[in-house]
Structure 1
Amino acid sequence: MKFTKTFVGALLASAALTGAAWAECEVTLKSSDTHPDGYPTVEGVKAMGEALKESTDGKICIEIFASAQLGEEKDTIEQTQFGVIDLNRVSLGPFNNIIPETQVPSLPYIFRSVDHMHDVMDGEVGQEILDAFAEHDLIGLAFYDGGSRSFYNSQKPITSIEDLAGLKFRVMQSDMFVDMVSALGANATPMPYGEVYSSIQTGVIDGAENNWPSYDTSGHYEVAKYYTLDQHLMVPEVLVMSKMSWDKLSEEEQAAVREAAKKSVEVQRELWAAQEKASEDRIRAAGNEVITDIDKQPFIDAMGPVYEKYVTSDELKDMVARIQATE
């Protein structure tokens, strides 16, 4: 569904502020997230809001619209660029076709572990990627955990790359993700997150790929019983702010926003780790088949063409090399 700037503006203007906290603030930043209330990314932004309100003596607050109330990610990105939405937590995938630098942490098997990903994204490379958003009317603030993504489907256990042949998987609306699935011999179907459940249920697609909490909280585990821990992607989530909204703040307020976002990262990561474990426990208890005995090397070897296609400039090749060299 395509949202116009006028429509979303009217929606935001008519939304009731359910609590005295927002009414007391001089500035209320509207923040969007596709995930439901209670999800680690939503709770991370709540923590940011608390820190920001405290550091600005109650001047600036954050109001969160979770569960895709303002639309799916592609639409909310555009509205954030327009300045209608102030803050937005988005997966990096939808930015891949817009901001080349975001393609690097989105590459399959680029990170060796969660700790490796944290070290990279909290360091120089991560800051370079955040800085790249500025040319697209967005301010990159922080990276949240998005977990490791694996395939799940309704048809059969996947224990080898051959088992993927012919299966139809939903992917985020990113050319790279389409090419990744194609390189593995499966068929990629880009579609919004909110359409996945019914599409698996009705057989439009056979499955999707995502992390433990998303597989759990979306209910996808109910219609796709086979979950294969191939962990092909470990893509961070990104928190961005509209440059139009950013420019309305003083330098002191901008610094407060950055610091609050930075503080929220630790909260989000702790919640993420707990959520991931809880989701895994629920899925296993539900009786779903979790496949862990899998040789990843053929999957990794199949990614050569994907790297060749997307890591083309000297700058991106250097970024990949620096990530691989990070201890």
Structure 2
Amino acid sequence: MKTSHIKKFLPIASVAAMMAFALPAQADNWRGWNIHPNGYPNTVALEEFAEAVAEQTEGRVKPRVYNNAVLGDQSDAIEQTRNGALDFANFNMGPMGPIVPETNVFSLPFLFNDVEHMHAVMDGEIGERFADALEEKGLVVLSWFDSGARSIYNTKQPINTPEDVRGLKIRVMNNDLYVHMIEALGGNATPMSYGEVYQSLTTGVLDGAENNYPSFESSNHYEASGYYSLTEHLIIPECLCVAKASWEKLSEEDQEIIRDVAQQASVRQRELWVNSSEESRQIVLDHGVEINEVEDKAAFQALMEPMYESFIASNPGTGELIEEIRAAE
């Protein structure tokens, strides 16, 4: 190639390169964030969602799910999805508070009566309001997922009343609300890394901890804790969310398709969660763990009232929302 031709070509190539870098990522190659491992109920539902979207949009949208948080932790992934660097994700509402303060109510213990109550709330008008608040921050909620109910397990005795918690050293997540919850029940709250819990249970550093059935079983904590009591004190919903920037690039037809598929994914995820929970429950029962229902949760809830009062005082406007959630059917 002659030098004069090269000189003429270089500016054109430079402009083309700059245009390539300036173009947004194509909507037909969606990247999705997921914290869970292969085979987990959420993972299965998300991968089926991705496959169905690709099929029903005839390849116009091709989602791919990246599991095990390989694209960053949840806080990073929330920001990446909000700014469009990621296209979709499954987020727990627990860490969403710094972005959407209204979601902090989900960290209040005994907010929901049970998992079915949570479904009714999130699938109804209240859930739509949370979805609107999330969309204002760049996250379009397509459907709500389940994450089960967290209950208390320990090495000492069944828990039927708040008095049964008194004096027990219970591991909690590093959140002041959870610390205050155990303290209100008369226990000694111990924030601790999840990976340290098993050994602490076996050595007596801890008397117990709290989590859902699948986590209780998969962590092998049931080997060291003979009692699992269904306090169901914490029930936190999760969302299947799409980046608003990615959503707005879609045609109305594809938006409708993807929203329908997401609703089906929610039904599927909840079914898988129930099955997984039952399998885990049976495993721990077979190992000799004693499981008991807590008949009177009102006694536990009553002790949480000072915490609620403090929360409402610090978060004006949440009192009415809490009452609506509690009253929802």
Q: TM-score range by the shorter chain?
A: 0.7 to 0.9
Say if 1:294 and 1:40 are closer, same or farther in 2 by CA, change over 3 A.
Answer: same
Where does residue 318 of structure 2 map in the other structure? Answer: 316
Q: Secondary structure at the residue paired with 1:48?
A: helix
Deviations 1:148-195 (A, max 9, x none): 210123555444423434544443454433332332233445566566
Instruction: Confirm or deny that 1:233 pairs with 2:239.
Output: no
Say if 1:225 and 1:99 are closer, same or farther in 2 by CA, change over 3 A.
Answer: farther
Q: CA–CA distance in 1 between the matches of 2:99 and 2:182?
A: 20
Deviations 1:248-267 (A, max 9, x none): 54554444333322221111
Cα offset, 1:26, TM superposition: 6.8
Where does residue 38 of structure 1 map in the other structure? Answer: 39
Say how many residue pairs are matched. 303
Where does residue 5 of structure 2 map in the other structure? Answer: none
Q: CA–CA distance in 2 between the matches of 1:259 and 1:288?
A: 41
Q: CA–CA distance in 2 between the matches of 1:223 and 1:33?
A: 30
What letter corresponds to residue 302 of structure 1 in structure 2?
L
Say if 1:186 and 1:136 are closer, same or farther in 2 by CA, change over 3 A.
Answer: farther
* Range that drifts further, 46-55 or 182-191: 182-191
Say if 1:91 and 1:294 are closer, same or farther in 2 by CA, change over 3 A.
Answer: same
Q: CA–CA distance in 1 between the matches of 2:256 and 2:203?
A: 49
Where does residue 177 of structure 1 map in the other structure? Answer: 178
Q: Secondary structure at the residue paired with 2:321?
A: helix
Q: CA–CA distance in 2 between the matches of 1:249 and 1:297?
A: 47
Whether contact under 8 Å (1:94, 1:172) holds in the other structure is no
Say if 1:184 and 1:299 are closer, same or farther in 2 by CA, change over 3 A.
Answer: same
Q: CA–CA distance in 2 between the matches of 1:230 and 1:173?
A: 19
Say if 1:44 and 1:166 are closer, same or farther in 2 by CA, change over 3 A.
Answer: same
Cα offset, 1:130, TM superposition: 1.7
Q: Secondary structure at the residue paired with 1:139?
A: strand
Q: CA–CA distance in 2 between the matches of 1:262 and 1:294?
A: 33
What letter corresponds to residue 149 of structure 2 in structure 1?
S
Where does residue 56 of structure 1 map in the other structure? Answer: 57
What letter corresponds to residue 147 of structure 1 in structure 2?
G
Where does residue 15 of structure 2 map in the other structure? Answer: none
Where does residue 269 of structure 2 map in the other structure? Answer: 268
Q: CA–CA distance in 2 between the matches of 1:73 and 1:203?
A: 32
Equivalent residue runs for 1:1-327 within 5 Å:
27-154=28-155, 157-190=158-191, 196-197=197-198, 200=201, 206-292=207-293, 295-312=296-313, 315-327=317-329
Return the TM-score normalized by structure 2: 0.78
% of aligned pairs identical?
Answer: 43
What letter corresponds to residue 144 of structure 1 in structure 2?
F
Say if 1:108 and 1:213 are closer, same or farther in 2 by CA, change over 3 A.
Answer: same
Whether contact under 8 Å (1:226, 1:290) holds in the other structure is yes
Q: CA–CA distance in 1 between the matches of 2:58 and 2:234?
A: 40
Q: CA–CA distance in 2 between the matches of 1:162 and 1:32?
A: 42
Q: CA–CA distance in 2 between the matches of 1:198 and 1:81?
A: 39
Say if 1:301 and 1:256 are closer, same or farther in 2 by CA, change over 3 A.
Answer: same
* Range that drifts further, 173-182 or 197-206: 197-206
What letter corresponds to residue 32 of structure 1 in structure 2?
W
Say if 1:227 and 1:134 are closer, same or farther in 2 by CA, change over 3 A.
Answer: same
Q: Secondary structure at the residue paired with 1:209?
A: strand
Q: Higher Cα Rg: structure 1 or 2?
A: 2
Whether contact under 8 Å (1:157, 1:291) holds in the other structure is yes
The RMSD of aligned alpha carbons is: 3.1
What letter corresponds to residue 279 of structure 2 in structure 1?
A
